Amino acid sequence: MTLISNNIKFLRKESHFTQEQLAEKIGIKRSLLGAYEEGRADPRLNNLLKISDIFDISVDLLISEDLSQILDRENKNITGRVKSRVLSITVDTEGEENIELIPQKASAGYLNGYADPEYLEDMPKFKIPFLSKNGTFRAFEIAGDSMLPVLPGTIIIGKYIEATSDIKNNGTYILLSSTEGIVYKRVRTSKIDSGILELVSDNKNYSSYTVDLPDVLEIWEATTFISQNFPEATSNMNENSEFENLKTIVLELQQEVIRLKGN
């Protein structure tokens, strides 16, 4: 086997792709990918470029280095990360990281500007004292009612997740993907070994769907939220009123039973 074949196979397995899935993304037959991985054929330049783009790694590294040896398995510089990009952040005058807010109206632009420090500089910024100093946080204003009782307009503050192995099954996350943009969903990891995440809405009127891990650009674990919508007291008052009415009815029935027994 050649260095290229070893690297292609290594990257595919580390990114949880089947041969069929990777071949489809490259635009070739599965049998040809198998030939690449077994060293029976070398990829043409156009396919090398596609492989380079899929795994976000330079062609130079792909053909000249043993990636299984140079990649830090603990930090997962390429595989195991959502993408091998450096996360852009902003800091205050004292060098402390800001929490950048991505409003609904800016969410479409975030897909193109999330890695651009200048884009983030234009976003609103704030601090929350009780958040951990260990980690990078970002805030997203959500749209739609797919995650009720969390209402549209709620701001979800997420902690950046580097490794897919850190995703907790059935936890709630903000995901940025090349196919779906920004979404706030509950994530199920039963298919993660196949390179797939299942996204589930808390509002049962919405169906679950899947995204391919290579299409996921950022993952933020939901840690807290900010909302301008307070629970309506009238709802609780109605419930209490109904409970009191029920108690009154029960007491009246008990008194009626006692009266009938006395007769």
Q: Is residue 252 part of a domain?
A: no
255: pLDDT strictly greater than 90: no
- 62 and 177 in a single domain? The answer is no
Query: Contact at 8 Å (CB) between 139 and 90?
Result: no
Is 182 strand, coil or helix?
strand
Count the helix, strand and coil residues of the chain and give each as a percent rounded to the nearest 5. 40, 20, 40
Q: Looking at residue 201, which CATH number applies to its domain?
A: 2.10.109.10
Query: Contact at 8 Å (CB) between 144 and 198?
Result: no
Q: Is residue 254 part of a domain?
A: no
Q: What is the pLDDT of residues 31-43, one digit of tens each?
A: 999 999 998 888 9
Q: What is the pLDDT of residues 99-137, one digit of tens each?
A: 999 999 888 888 877 767 788 888 999 988 888 878 899
- 58 and 146 in a single domain? The answer is no
- 131 and 64 in a single domain? The answer is no
Q: What is the mean pLDDT of residues 171-193?
A: 93
Q: What is the residue-averaged pLDDT of the chain? A: 82
| Percent of the chain with pLDDT strictly greater than 70 | 80
- 121 and 20 in a single domain? The answer is no
- Range(s) of the domain holding residue 181: 99-226
Residue 206: the pLDDT is 94
Q: Is residue 160 part of a domain?
A: yes
Q: What is the mean pLDDT of residues 67-91?
A: 58
**Residues 6 or more apart in contact with residue 142 via CB below 8 angstroms:** 104, 150, 152, 153, 154, 155, 156, 184
Q: Is residue 256 part of a domain?
A: no
Q: What is the pLDDT of residues 131-148, one digit of tens each?
A: 887 889 999 999 999 999
| Number of domains the chain contains | 2
Residue 197: the pLDDT is 94
Range name among 11-15, 90-94, 232-236 with the lowest pLDDT average: 232-236
- 113 and 50 in a single domain? The answer is no
**Between residues 229 and 18, the one the model is more confident about:** 18
- 65 and 108 in a single domain? The answer is no
Q: Is residue 76 part of a domain?
A: no
Query: Which residue among 27, 55, 70 closes a domain?
Result: 70
Q: Is residue 233 part of a domain?
A: no
- 46 and 137 in a single domain? The answer is no
Q: Is residue 158 part of a domain?
A: yes
- 104 and 218 in a single domain? The answer is yes
Helices (H), 42-200: 45-54, 59-64, 67-70, 107-113, 117-121
Amino acid at site 112: N
78: pLDDT strictly greater than 70: no
Query: Contact at 8 Å (CB) between 54 and 8?
Result: no
Q: What is the mean pLDDT of residues 75-83?
A: 44
- 48 and 149 in a single domain? The answer is no
- 202 and 148 in a single domain? The answer is yes
Query: Contact at 8 Å (CB) between 2 and 42?
Result: yes
158: pLDDT strictly greater than 70: yes
- 105 and 221 in a single domain? The answer is yes
Band (pLDDT 50/70/90 cuts) for residue 215 is confident
Q: Is residue 79 part of a domain?
A: no
- 127 and 216 in a single domain? The answer is yes
